[in-house]
Structure formats: C-alpha cells, structure tokens
Structure 1
Amino acid sequence: MMTASEIVALRATVHTWRFANRPRKIGTGSILRRDLVLVRVELADGTIGYGEAFHGHAGTAVAEIVNTTMQEVVLGRRANEMLAVREETRDRFLIASGMGGFIFALSGIDIAMWDAYGKSSSRPAWQLLNAVTPDFPAYAGGFTLGYSTPELLVADLQGLRDRGYRAAKVRVGDGFEADVARVLAARSALGEDFRIMTDANLGQNYDVSRLATVLGEIGAEWLEEPFAPGRRGDFRALSSLRRVPLAAGENLFGADAFAEWIGEGAIQVAQPDVSRVGGITEAIRIGHVTQAHGARFVPHISHSALNHAATLTVMSAVGSTDFFEADPTAENPFRNGAISGGARVMDGRASLGEEPGLGVEVDEARLHRDHPGESGSPWPRERRVG
C-alpha cells in the first residue's frame, strides 16, 4: 500500500542565467553563465522537494540521467530512504561504470529527498539530523575576486569588509609576481585580523612552492587546488614542505576518496560540494571522515540557495565550527530571485532558520519563463595564441 511519504514523481530541468558583466578571469577562465540542474521529487501526499545537481559542463546530460535511468532507482522509495538510493546508485552505476554524471544526478536527488522529508515531517532538515542550530562564520567566495590589480583587489576586499565579511578568497595563478603582489597588498591593507584564503583553480604555470612560501608568511588559511586532482603525488610533495595548508575537494567524489587524500597528507582542508559529491548524505560521511583525521571541513558551494542551505545543513549535522563559503555577488537569481531563502548571510555570518525542509522557495513558473536552460558548458573554451 502506498504511504504518504512515497516518491511518486522525479524530474530534472536545466535553467540558465547569463551574467550581464562576466566575472573576472580565474584559473579556469571566465564563466559565461550560471547553469542549474533543478531536481524535483514529489511525494504521494503532494509534498515537493527540490535539490540542485551540479551541471558537470553538460547540464542537459545530467538532467537526462535523472529523467531516465534514475527513475527506477528512486520512484517508490520513501522520502527518507536516501541511503538506499545511494547504495543502489553506487553498486549499479558508480563502481562499475565510473562516476560521470551519475554522481551529480545522485547529489541533486539526495538533496531533494532531504527537502521533501523535512517538509513532510514539518521540521527543518538540520533538525532531522539532530544538528545544533546552524550558525557559522562566512567567507566571501564564489566567483568574486578574480585576477585584477592589487589596487582593485584591495578595493574589493574593503567593500566586502564593509558588508561584514572578515574573510575572503583571492584567486591566484596568472604569474608569480602578480600573485605575490596581490596577496601582499591584501594582507597589508586589510590587516592581520582579516582571513585570506587563496584558490589556484587546478594549477599554476610556475613552481607553486614559491607561492606557498609567501602564503605561509602572510598566514593564509589555505592554498586551494594548486594542481589537478590527478596529481595527488604533487599535493603530497607540496604538503610535506609544511608551508601552507592545502585544500581540495570540489573535484573529488565519495568519502573513500577523501579518506585516502586526507589520510596520506595530500590535503589538510576538505572541500566537498553537496551538489557534486553525492548530496547531503555523502557529504555528512565525508565530514565525519575529515574530522576523524583532524583536518578542516570547509565545503565548496555551487550556484543556488538549495545548495547553500544543504551545505549549512551538512556543516551543522557534523558539528562543524569552520567557515561557510558565501556567494557575495549582488545578483544571483538562483539565490535571490526565482529561487530564494534558506541560507541567511549577514554581517559575516551564515545561518538557517526553522522552516521545514531546506527552507528554500522555488518559483518553477518563473524559472521556466525567465531562465530557460542552455546546453553545453558555461565555461567557454580558452583559445590559445600560436
């Protein structure tokens, strides 16, 4: 007999918002647009839960996995059977066939199931996980603070500080002298009390150990993704110098991978993204693994309020006291437009409220009207000269 919490419908749609002014270039180029794969589950009692799956540079392909293969995995399950969905997906599609878009699809489904479970229970998802009230320091991350002059970076950081932030992530990787000039200017202008994180976005074109020395001297929180994930040995070698903590995780998949990276000293800061790593359920497992190894747990974020609320839910569930990565951009319709609510970021703090589920409002009609999805990658190809 069908129960009220049984999942009777599962659907994914792609939505796009193009930047009016594209963010400054970072190590992976300059992004053209935000792509969102919205996952929707419906329960027998009419409850709707939403999640965000990472687009994986092919959002329509991720949506296709949700709308076809994952139907038989999810439909007929109860809203609280997240672990069963995880196990079947791993056994059938991840272990034997590789990760691909299935891990992204699973991520969005898992988040949507937690949202639906909370709504059907009339309780916030973080309370269902027996978490403490989620409230965390926030640092300014996302697509902000790309390559610029030291003067422009300092002005940007001062603006963020005026908004209450006491920490921000600076992009590095466009040349040793330029990188050093920026981070030294930031430290000098903002003072020792302002926390500085750095992100190389998968690598630099020079000996990164030189920059690591400078970052250690200014007390940087971490150097994120100085190499591509296939270069784990290089992570270990740089970590062994003990100049600055290394961070990674948005491109790692599964608690087992994080256990290996952290256990062998490749990274000291774990940064899973709930929309890429398997959802809330898998991210909690990663949080516990990270804490057991004595490393820092500072998740990466994706585009929407759904991801941000799910991230705070995970952090609260594992008892984290570390930083939440906030999206400080003034305009993001997937955070403060067609999708809104959930995470509250104010005066350098991030928190969740008492609303059921993830506490996020989704206006599907507005999404379909104003943000029709585009295919392909939101990161245009960087053309080389010569």
Structure 2
Amino acid sequence: MKIIDAKTFVVGNPWKNWVFVKLYTDEGITGVGEATGGLQTKPNEASVHELKPLYIGKDPRNVHEIMDSMRKGLFLGYSTAMSGIEQACWDILGKSLGVPVWRLLGGKMRPRIRAYANGWYRGPRDPAFFAEAALRTVEMGYTALKFDPFGNAYRFMERDEERLSLNIVRAVREAVGESVDLLIEAHDRFSVSTAVKLGHALAEFNPMWFETPVMSTDVEATIAVASQVPIPVASGERFDSLAQFSRLLGSKVVSIAQPEVLKIGGISGMVKAAAIAESHESFIAPHNAQSPLCTVINTHVGAAVPNLLIQECFDDTNAEWSRRIMTGTVQVKDGYIEIPDDPGLGVDLNEEEMSKYPYGDQNFLRLFEAGWEKRREIKG
C-alpha cells in the first residue's frame, strides 16, 4: 500500500478555522487527520502539501517511519501539519486491519472517558451570566467545567478586575454546588507573583486545577507557581518536545500534564507523553480545543493509556453545524465520552457540508482583546 495523494479542507469555525487532512492510497483506503492551528490557518494547510515529498509514495501503515522521515526533514522538529498526516496514517492502519485505533495502542484501559466542558460561557463577562450558563451545561450531563474568568488580563490585574474574576468563579461554584469540578483556565496570562496571589485566592472554591497560570513554555515559572499555591497546577498544552514534559513533571510539584496531540507529535507523541507522565506518577489531561475529529482522536488515545485523568471537550458547545461536517463523532453521556468501535478513527468527512463554511479571516480567538469570550457564531 502507498500514499498517492493528500488533500486539505478548511472549515470556518467561528473562533478557529479548522484544517483537515485526507490521505489517499493506491488500494482505495483513505485516512483523515486534523492540522488546525490556534492563530494560524493557511501556513498549516500549506505545510501539509509542502511535506508531500516526505510521505507520498510511502506505506501509511509504517506510521513511525513516516513521522521520522518528516521530523528529520524538518531538521528534528514537529509541526501541526505532521500531526495531521500522522493521525491519517493511524486511521488507514486501523481500517486496513479492521480494528479501531485504540486497539492498535494496546486496547481499552477503561470503558468510557470522563469529559469536561469548555466553550460553554459564550457571552458577557458577568457573574450572573456565567452562573446561568454553567447550570445549563451541568444539565447536559457534564460534571466538570473549565472557564477563563480573567477577561483580557496580561501579567497583572487591576483590583476591580481581580474582584470581578473571583466573583465569576464564586457565582459558578454557588450555582453548580460542590459536586461539580471547576477547572480554572488562565491562558498563560500572569506573572509569577500575580499567579501566586490568584492561586491562593482561588483555593476558596476548591478547583480541580489552575491551568497555565504563567507562560506555559517557561517551565521554571510554572514550577515556581505550583510550589507556592495550595491548588493543583496543570500545564503543557504548548509543549512541542517530550523533554519539556520531563522537566515539568520531574519537579514533583506539577502532576497534571496537558499534551496537545497537534503539537506533541500526533497520536504517537501523545502516547509517549503519557508514558513520561506515568514515570513521574502523574496524569495526563489532554488539551483539545479543536474540532469533533480531534475529540475522537484524543478518545482513542485516552482509551488506551493508563494515566488519563479527564478529557477536554468542546463538541456540545461548538457551532450547531459542527457535527454535520463529519460522521462518526463521539457522544458525551452523563459526563463521559463513549469510546467508538469502528475501524480506524471511525470518522468520515462530509465534504459537501464542509464547503458551506469557508475560511474566515476573523475566525480567531484573540485572548488579549476585550470580549473574546463571546465567540461569534456562524449560522448554518
């Protein structure tokens, strides 16, 4: 079997243009993957095609060999495009053997995966709104909610802004009660001193974790915060090397790693990151702010690794048309993701439906601009 062609498809999701990859083989089996970038679309799409000399003509079932070829071709680096291609190769391998990808990774460690909701607070930065939105999301069955209450803060916070942020968290906690986990997102916003101050203030609300309170690529800063606050710190979504996870978790003060499948080297990289975390008696809680396809990909990995804590999910809070652009998406029931059994990843792209939502040059989440939380929606 050989890869004979690759196509890309861009779908204009309101807050992040999604990039999909489809590989074609000479035996008629196709595979899909995702190469979405947070604030870049066209460079990622172009990279999929520019990398063709490194994977066209190769057997897609030799996933590691193709990934190694691309990594060396990029002078020992990973890219989002590489991850999308790698995922599509796993999809083809699973289909060729008639088994789901999780089976190829060693089989199920668990019958279902706990999920937390994100993207549910699309609207004004107001405690009452957050409380109402949180209740609606809990009514959907979720038992864990992640949100960023900090507006467009950068490094420091004015007193009134800090008070509003804490009041938002307080309103959510009072609305949903103590049985729902709150995950507080900080989007790399703060200096060490500000993060430490906020970490102590947030302890009142017993959050499951305080996520990326400082620049997450600054491992030393993250360790400094985690060693001084009374709540767990989670980080790692921006890591693009396994060594970064070793440094972070080796500190023994951070025990929740958040690898992003599109940055850490695809499915193979996620499994390796989980192994590193396991060696430090730590958990992974994969970052997943992409399309429903990426949720499926994370589900296959999460089904197989022993140290999964919880999985991020936007599927029920994305634009209502997002499930129509593909088949085989996973479902969240009573706060848990059901693990799919179809061969490969189990997802097919609906190209006709995708064409209704073209690329948009405003489809980006500008986290340091006022009102970013509103995430405008495209009607289908």
TM-score normalised by length of structure 1 = 0.86
1:212–1:55 CA distance, 2 compared to 1 (3 A): same
Residue 90 in structure 1 maps to residue 66 in structure 2: no
- CA displacement at 1:361 relative to structure 2: 2.4
- Give the Cα–Cα distance (whole angstroms) in 1 for the partners of residues 369 and 291 of structure 2: 29
The answer to whether the 8 A contact 1:342-1:352 is kept is no
For 2:168, the equivalent position in structure 1 comes to 182
Match of 1:371 among 350, 357, 379: 357
Residue 53 in structure 1 maps to residue 35 in structure 2: yes
Between the two proteins, the alignment pairs up a number of residues equal to 358
- Give the Cα–Cα distance (whole angstroms) in 1 for the partners of residues 96 and 42 of structure 2: 29
SS at match of 1:223: strand
- Give the Cα–Cα distance (whole angstroms) in 1 for the partners of residues 113 and 367 of structure 2: 36
Deviations 1:3-23 (A, max 9, x none): xx32221232322133xxxxx
Residue 63 in structure 1 maps to residue 42 in structure 2: no
- CA displacement at 1:54 relative to structure 2: 2.3
- CA displacement at 1:379 relative to structure 2: 3.4
Deviations 1:125-172 (A, max 9, x none): 111222215511111124646762222111111111111111101213
- Give the Cα–Cα distance (whole angstroms) in 2 for the partners of residues 146 and 82 of structure 1: 42
SS at match of 2:343: coil
1:65 counterpart letter in structure 2 = S
For 2:115, the equivalent position in structure 1 comes to 138
1:233 counterpart letter in structure 2 = E
- Give the Cα–Cα distance (whole angstroms) in 2 for the partners of residues 240 and 292 of structure 1: 20
1:304 counterpart letter in structure 2 = S
Matches within 5 A, 1:249-268: 249-265=236-252, 267-268=254-255
Match of 1:106 among 65, 78, 82: 82
Residue 7 in structure 1 maps to residue 22 in structure 2: no
Residue 331 in structure 1 maps to residue 319 in structure 2: yes
The answer to whether the 8 A contact 1:60-1:375 is kept is no
SS at match of 2:13: strand
1:313 counterpart letter in structure 2 = H
For 2:139, the equivalent position in structure 1 comes to 162
SS at match of 1:49: strand
* Percent of residue pairs bearing the same amino acid type: 24
Where do 5+ consecutive residues of structure 2 fail to align? Answer: 152-160, 371-380
1:63–1:227 CA distance, 2 compared to 1 (3 A): same
- Give the Cα–Cα distance (whole angstroms) in 2 for the partners of residues 103 and 254 of structure 1: 11
- Give the Cα–Cα distance (whole angstroms) in 1 for the partners of residues 339 and 121 of structure 2: 23
SS at match of 1:300: coil
SS at match of 1:252: coil
1:246 counterpart letter in structure 2 = V
Could you say what the CA RMSD is over the residues aligned between the two structures, in angstroms? 2.3
2:34 counterpart letter in structure 1 = E
Matches within 5 A, 1:216-295: 216-265=203-252, 267-295=254-282
- Give the Cα–Cα distance (whole angstroms) in 1 for the partners of residues 62 and 123 of structure 2: 41
- CA displacement at 1:234 relative to structure 2: 1.9
1:197–1:266 CA distance, 2 compared to 1 (3 A): same
1:365–1:188 CA distance, 2 compared to 1 (3 A): closer
For 2:336, the equivalent position in structure 1 comes to 349
Deviations 1:286-315 (A, max 9, x none): 011112112221001132222111101111
2:343 counterpart letter in structure 1 = P
Residue 81 in structure 1 maps to residue 57 in structure 2: no
1:353–1:260 CA distance, 2 compared to 1 (3 A): same
Where do 5+ consecutive residues of structure 1 fail to align? Answer: 19-32
The answer to whether the 8 A contact 1:14-1:38 is kept is yes
1:228–1:147 CA distance, 2 compared to 1 (3 A): farther
- CA displacement at 1:190 relative to structure 2: 1.9
